[in-house]
Structure 1
Amino acid sequence: MATMKDVAERSGVSVTTVSHVVNGTRRVSDEVRLRVEGVMEEIGYRPNILARGLRRGEATLLGLIVPDATNPYFAEIARAVADACSEEGYAVIICNSDGRRDREKEAIEVLAANRVGGIFLVNVGVTERDAALFDGLSIPLVMLDREIPGIPVDSIQIDNVHGGRQATDHLLSLGHRRIACIAGPSQVSPSGDRVTGYRQALEAAGLPFDPSLVLRGDFTPASGHACAGILMERGERPTALFACNDLMAFGAVTALAERGLAVPGDVSVVGFDDIPLAAYFNPPLTTVAQPRREMGRRAARILLERMRDGTLPRRRPVLMNTTLKVRRSSGPPAGGDGPRS
């Protein structure tokens, strides 16, 4: 592993000079700085930002807590947050709550005890009853993807109601009238909002809401597989499925294939998130895309601003738009009249 001494020897300067370049503790001529930085890049030297922060009396570590680190959606958000923070000289510790409140609470307490500068949180569905946990924090907190009503913290969200409506309107425009919905966990606000959008689209089309067409999964492929299986075993099966995330949509497509049903020939499927695999699935998945990279970058910008200026007023939640990505998993219903205007 390259050391500061290696950089100094190759640059023809002292270790002290390299330290000043790395830490910005004294002005160094542009010529020397560029030479030192060039050598650092060439030999792969990376400063120890934790040690640097301790010397300066600053927090250089941040925390990110997600419900499921194996979910590609959260992995992309984590990458965006980490990249944006790295550009500002901060490292991010990623914690997995496994969708459990007790583990989320433990992660927050451990991060705070270890003096991270701030926390990014994708919560597992905490309610107002748990507000004391956040009120007692002495470090900035930014919520990603979700919010907790009544808790005045910064948050970055998408318009999930609009996204749910986009997915359902698309299926309605193709001529579908019996559209099922595979929802996510009841305690997670995006799931409920997406179902609200689904219901709004049906209502606007003059169609009654049928609660028997809404089943609840847990955002995993296995739950999408199970819910789709149940829906297909009923007397009058739906001609289309709206799954409230892509992983459940993948599971649903597999369940349909196991029953000899073609997608979209027999049943159309629409997901939500537009994770990278969605475009390469078979068939490529029609889905509602979230601006994950921008969400992560904006969250990082807000948290760092609040760390640097603790007097900033509380912001309202930042609400970002979704985009429908139409691919080959959706089409007109079998024997239908085709798309409707």
Structure 2
Amino acid sequence: MLHVAEAARVSVATVSAYINGTTTVSQELSARIEQAIREIGYKRNAIARSLKVGTTRTVGLTVPHITNPFFTDVVSVIQQAFDRAGYAVMLCCTDEDLNNQDDQIRLLLDRMVDGLIVARVGDSAFLKETVERANVPVVLLDRECENVDTDRVVLDNHQAVFEAITYLVDLGHKRIGYITGSFDISPMRDRMAGYRAALLAAGLTFDQSLVRSGDLHEADGYTAAMQLLSLHERPTAIFSANNPMVVGAMKAIRDIGLSCPEDISIICFDDFPWADVFHPQLTTIAQPVQAIGEQAAMLLLDRLNGNRDAPSRRLVLKGRLMVRNSCRPLSATTGAATPKIATSLV
């Protein structure tokens, strides 16, 4: 730092103030210091700075699946928001494993992150302890945690699925298969509640045999769809609770010798860039990814900027049904198209 001060013809204290942001440095002096830093090749010591000022200008972010297009897009939005605010983002993928989630949070805390955004895997005593005792603010993303009092950004999953199932009912569908993930996470519970509420509102009976569950991966969607399509009275439509599983469901429809939407209609939760280049183009529920990521970053930045003691906030955003052509209306007289004979491959 001494060499930078000499090259810029300023005091060491002025260089320190500029680098650490402790006091305002004039534009002229800032330009001279920056030029000296470039000429000398001075490297800022982020670790030393963090020990001195008590902040690393780094936040931690955990997501269950980085390969899921929804989380990929949200991560991008969050990273851009913190980049604009002068923070780095450390990303960890928990792979839907509760123990891994706790380990990743410990890792981020050991790296002295200033705050956390967590798309949780399941209820965790350690996560609750982190919120209550760790000296860092925590924002929950996408997935609620009922026993944790902290900021969160979620979607109105119940209403989104209610509208999607109602759309299928309005097209004449009465046997609607449902492929879900684990009910350990709140979006899956809320989406199932929306499914049941829509059936009830339409005067239809909930049929447990039309529900199949998996771990939110493509292979789970394939297996679940095969089981539904192999029923003696198969569904005329299938709703998938996320987009990796709908890819598996579409493969199952193809492999069993059926067509979408001629034989089976499909809707999935979460829009994704190639949904409208599928054949057929997929009808989906689109989440406001930009708003979700920006609001999560905003909540955490607000805490980092000093608003630590305000009551926790719960922001609920709305999904949007993107109607394309993977669903067809059924005949009012027959209730369905004449089905092909499907041979089970399960």
TM-score (norm 2): 0.84
1:193 is aligned, of 190, 207, 210, to: 190
Q: Does 1:209 align with 2:206?
A: yes
Residue 265 of structure 1: which of 262, 265, 268 is its match?
A: 262
- Distance across 2 between alignment mates of 1:64 and 1:262: 40
Residue type of the partner of 1:286? T
Deviations 1:39-66 (A, max 9, x none): x9xxxx9987666555543221110011
Match of 1:90 in 2: 87
- Which of these residues, 266, 273, 276, is aligned with residue 273 of structure 2? 276
Q: In the superposition, relative to structure 1, how do residues 59 and 87 fare at CA in structure 2: closer, same or farther (>3 Å)?
A: same
Please tell me whether Structure 1 or Structure 2 has the larger radius of gyration of its CA atoms.
Answer: 2
CA distance in structure 2 between the aligned counterparts of 1:129 and 1:19, rounded to whole angstroms: 38
Residue deviations 1:104-131 (CA, integer Å, cap 9, x gap): 1111112112210001000002167963
- Distance in 2 (CA, whole Å) between partners of 1:19 and 1:127 is 42
Q: Which amino acid aligns with 1:180?
A: G
Segment of structure 1 superposing worse, 72-81 or 21-30: 21-30
The amino acid across from 1:198 in the alignment is Y
Distance of 1:243 and 1:53 partners within structure 2 = 46
Identity %: 38
Among 282, 287, 308, the residue aligned to 1:290: 287
Corresponding pairs, count: 328
Aligned-partner residue type, residue 70 of structure 2: Y
Task: Read off the aligned partner of 2:147 and give its amino acid letter.
Answer: G
CA shift at 1:282, angstroms?
A: 2.4
Q: Which amino acid aligns with 2:113?
A: V
Cα distance change of structure 1 residues 173 and 335 upon mapping to structure 2, 3 Å threshold: closer
Give the TM-score taking structure 1 as reference length. 0.85
1:62 and 2:29 correspond: no
Residue 170 of structure 2 corresponds to residue 165 of structure 1: no
CA contact (8 A) 1:270 1:330 kept: yes
Structure 1: gaps of 5 or more residues: none
Would the aligned equivalents of 1:246 and 1:278 in 2 still touch at CA under 8 Å? no
- Letter in structure 1 aligned against 2:237: A
Letter in 2 for 1:228: A
Contact 1:267 1:333 in 2 (8 A): no
Q: What letter corresponds to residue 72 of structure 2 in structure 1?
A: A
Which amino acid is the alignment partner of residue 78 of structure 1?
V
Are 1:143 and 2:129 an aligned pair? no
Q: Distance in 1 between matches of 2:120 and 2:290?
A: 19
| One-letter identity of the residue aligned with 1:265 | E
Deviation at 1:336, TM superposition (A): 6.0
Cα pair distance change 1:64/1:167, threshold 3 Å: same
Aligned AA (2:192): V
Amino acid at match of 2:306: D
Task: Report the alpha carbon displacement of residue 21 of structure 1 after superposing the two structures with TM.
Answer: 6.3
**Corresponding letter in the other structure for 1:211:** Q
Label 1:226 to 1:314 Cα distance change in 2 as closer, same or farther (>3 A). same
Offset at 1:135? 2.5
- TM-aligned CA deviation for residue 273 of structure 1: 1.1
Cα displacement string for residues 57-77 of structure 1 (whole angstroms, at most 9, x for unaligned residues): 322111001111222211111
Deviation of the 1:150 alpha carbon: 2.3
Distance 1:282 1:168 in 2: 21
Question: In structure 1, how many angstroms separate the alpha carbons of the residues matched to 2:151 and 2:159?
Answer: 21
2:343 match: none
User: C-alpha deviations, 1:271-324, integer Å up to 9, x for none?
Assistant: 001122322222221110111121111111111111222543222311111100
Partner of 2:233: 236
The aligned residue for residue 177 of structure 1 is 174
Offset from partner CA, 1:83-119 (integer Å, 9 cap, x none): 1011000000001111111111111112112210001
Equivalent-residue separation in structure 1 for 2:89 and 2:204 (angstroms): 47
Q: Sort the Cα spacing of 1:259 and 1:302 in 2 relative to 1 into closer, same or farther, 3 A.
A: same
Distance 2:109 2:159 in 1: 35
- Say which SS state the counterpart of residue 205 (structure 2) adopts: coil
Residue in 2 aligned with 1:117? 114
Q: Distance in 2 between matches of 1:272 and 1:251?
A: 14
- Deviation of 1:136 (Å): 2.8
Alpha-carbon distance in 2 for matches of 1:300, 1:239: 41
Letter of the 1:226 counterpart = T
Whole-angstrom CA distance in 2 between matches of 1:33 and 1:93: 29
- Which residue identity lines up with residue 317 of structure 2 in the other structure? M
Q: Distance in 2 between the 1:104 and 1:215 partners? A: 26
